Chain A
Amino acid sequence: MATEAHDAGGATGYIVHHLTPLSSGEGFWTLHVDTLFFSVFLGAVFLFFFRKAAEQATAGVPGPFQNFVEMIVEFVDTQVKDSFHGRNALIAPLALSIFAWVFLMNAMDLLPVDLLPDVGKAIGLEYLRVVPSTDLNATFGMSISVFFLIIFYSLKVKGPGHFAMEFLFHPFSHWALVPFNLLLNTVEYLAKPVSLGLRLFGNMYAGELIFILIALLPWWVQPALSFPWAVFHILIITLQAFIFMVLTIVYLSLAHESH
């Protein structure tokens, strides 16, 4: 988190540089290579360790690593069982994936802000933004996927007819209020992925920005500020991962229930 290097362009240049993704392509078809790389890498890390634990899993006495993985799995399972009362083999693995992936992506925040960008610079990468969850594409990638699942399960469980009726006649079941209901429900449905994605993005973006701002201060002030902020961020990254997971469970649970 500490650096004394101020790039050309002063403080603003430094901040902008840190928040610019490594991209390739033009216009809409731009790919944020760093976001994709780190999220795939972190996803692979998650899958590697959990798959290893799953392979070793026996009913016998678990080792420390096994215990750790099982603790997370049980924690997620408890959350799912508390909020979701239907039968769906997807929800719990989905919740676990979200929790672990978001946590790992957020945890990149705790690396020193200049560590990986400097390494990147050394191997010829101009920009490198290491925290995937400070990219709207990453957070919306998840929240829109969750949104599709909400729509899918709403249609599947309630049936298209019932779903449409609910959309038109809920909460006010009167013909005259159909437009109002439509508007309300549309906003309600769209608010779910937008709030999911923006909440995570906003938290992580702001957190990263503060780390960058701290890095602009004289070196002897930095530890006094970045250490408490990092400690606080341990809470934030876990909390955001947890919130994303729980809200996903709750939304999907709502999709399984009729009003």
Chain B
Amino acid sequence: MNINATLFGQMVTFALLVWFTMKYVWPPLLQALEERKKKIAEGLAAAEKGKHEMELAEKRATAALKEAKDQAAEIVNQAQKRANALVDESKEAAKIEGERILANARSEIDRELENAKEELRKQVSALAISAAEKILQREVDQKKHKEILAGLGKQLG
């Protein structure tokens, strides 16, 4: 168990081992590790980006859908309003037309009534005059009587 020349042999072996490792083993391995690390990082970044983009697209799609829905609702709303307005309008028109017809009918009736009254008045006054003529045949002052009768007729009218 003593130190001897084996020591030198071991040191040379060790030196060669380290030299070889340093020259041919360590650099390619570390380079590969480094490259893989980079690749993985890039892949992860790309995945993250893709995810982000998908989220954005989803948001956009949701927004578009919402807009379309709103628009549709608005259109339906407008149509309903328009329909209501149309119904109201036609109701109004019908009412006005009805009132007009009613008014026409009324004025016609009034005119007829007026005519009838006029006719009646004329007939009454004529009747009264003829009656008065018959009763007062002898009273000759026709002119004076006519005046009285005209006044009477006016009173009747």
- Additional 7 contacts, C-beta under 8 A, given A30-B5, A93-B18, A97-B17: A31-B9, A36-B10, A57-B31, A59-B39, A93-B26, A132-B10, A138-B10
What residues on A are CB-neighbors of B4 within 8 Å?
A: 25, 27-32, 137
Q: Does B89 contact A (CB under 8 A)?
A: no
Known contacts: A47-B20, A59-B36. The answer to whether A54 contacts B10 by CB under 8 A is: no
- Chain A proximity of B12: nearest CB distance (Å): 8
Chain A interface mostly? helix
Please pick, from A47, A77, A89, the residue contacting B25 in the complex, using a CB distance under 8 A.
A47
What residues on B are CB-neighbors of A77 within 8 Å?
A: 30, 33
Please state if A93 and B25 are interface contacts (CB–CB under 8 Å).
yes
Please state if B22 and A50 are interface contacts (CB–CB under 8 Å).
no
What residues on B are CB-neighbors of A29 within 8 Å?
A: 4-5
- Can you report 13 A-B residue pairs in the complex whose CB atoms are below 8 A from each other? A30-B4, A51-B20, A59-B32, A60-B36, A74-B33, A77-B30, A93-B18, A97-B21, A138-B10, A141-B7, A141-B10, A141-B13, A141-B14
- Nearest B residue to A72, CB-CB: B29
Q: Does B1 contact A (CB under 8 A)?
A: yes
A30 to B39 Cα, complex, angstroms: 54
What residues on A are CB-neighbors of B38 within 8 Å?
A: 59
- Chain B proximity of A189: nearest CB distance (Å): 18
A62 to B36 Cα, complex, angstroms: 10
Q: Does A15 contact B (CB under 8 A)?
A: no
Please state if A36 and B9 are interface contacts (CB–CB under 8 Å).
yes
Please state if A140 and B7 are interface contacts (CB–CB under 8 Å).
yes
| Count of residues in A whose CB is under 8 Å from the partner chain | 48
Q: Does B3 contact A (CB under 8 A)?
A: yes
A183 to B28 Cα, complex, angstroms: 44
Q: How large is the interface on B (under 10, 10 to 19, 20 to 34, 35 or more residues)?
A: 20 to 34
Interface segment among A38-46, A157-165, A166-174: the answer is A38-46
Q: Does A53 contact B (CB under 8 A)?
A: yes
Known contacts: A96-B21, A136-B3, A140-B3. The answer to whether A55 contacts B13 by CB under 8 A is: no
Residue of B6, B9, B29, B30 with most partner-chain A CB within 10 A: B6
Q: Does B11 contact A (CB under 8 A)?
A: yes
- Chain A proximity of B91: nearest CB distance (Å): 80
- Chain A proximity of B11: nearest CB distance (Å): 5
Question: Quick one: which of A48-83 are within 8 Å of B by CB?
Answer: 50-51, 53-55, 57-60, 62, 69-70, 73-74, 77
Please state if A50 and B5 are interface contacts (CB–CB under 8 Å).
no
Q: Does B47 contact A (CB under 8 A)?
A: no
What residues on A are CB-neighbors of B32 within 8 Å?
A: 54, 57-59, 70
- Nearest A residue to B35, CB-CB: A59
